[in-house]
Amino acid sequence: MITLEIANSIATLTLRRPPVNAISDRFIELFADRLDEIDARPDCKVVHLRSAQKVFCAGADLTEVRQRFDAPDGSERAHRFVSRLQLLYDRIERLPQVTVAEIAGAAMGGGLELALACDLRIIATDARVGLPECGSTWTGAVGRRARRRCPPCQCDRASHRNISRRRAPRQQEVHCGGR
């Protein structure tokens, strides 16, 4: 699901959860385990996060989301999941290494948050990023890093996209002042 290779002071984490690297409970556990391995290697100076799939990360596993909400204690389960996910993002932000997300394909919802937790992001010209859950009942789950890391934008197109949940190509993000 997540592999780790270390060479020349660079730790490469590769997301390998076909088809879209959806974030599940197990994904969070394995990601934390890989970060533990990196912590044990003081020779690592850079953490490179990439995907083996056609997308970077599509966000939360919607099957698990549905199962959580269908459970009698669904809201509590959802809250626990989101809390664990935010703790993972916080941990990535606090890593002493320089963190770089290589985004090809799509980075949506929690996948965009994962990329935003990194210090740097390299985004393919045809990549798509967005927070499709904006306007849904799950808006508190993600978006914190997007609000904190992306500079305010005076571009009407960007404002409309934030409200309408539309995704834009990388070129528009750059033009509108996004990272």
What is the per-residue pLDDT for 132?
Answer: 81
* Count of positions (residues) in the chain: 179
Residue type, 113: E
Q: Which two structure tokens, joined as six digits, stand for 32?
A: 């934390």
Which of 64, 102, 133, 173 is an active site residue?
Answer: 133
Which of 5, 29, 102, 113 is an active site residue?
Answer: 113
For 57, which DSSP code?
B
The closest alpha carbon to 9, from 44, 35, 56, 47, belongs to 44
173 among known catalytic residues: no
> What burial letters (b/e) apply to 141-158, b meaning 16+ CB within 10 Å?
bbbebbeebbeebeeeeb
102 among known catalytic residues: no
Nearest 10 degrees: CA dihedral of 98, 55, 30, 63? 140
- Domain limits of the chain? 2-175
The closest alpha carbon to 92, from 79, 110, 104, belongs to 110
Give me the CATH code for the 2-175 domain, please. 3.90.226.10
What's the whole-model pTM score?
A: 0.79
Phi, psi of 48 (to 5 degrees): -105, 115
Distance of CA 109 to the CA centre of its chain: 7
pLDDT along the chain (179 residues), means of 10: 97 97 97 98 97 96 93 93 95 97 95 96 94 62 54 43 47 45
What is the per-residue pLDDT for 47?
Answer: 98
Rounded to 10 deg, the angle between the 74-94 and 62-70 helix axes is 140
Q: CA–CA separation, 30 vs 88, rounded Å?
A: 11
Q: CA–CA separation, 92 vs 35, rounded Å?
A: 8
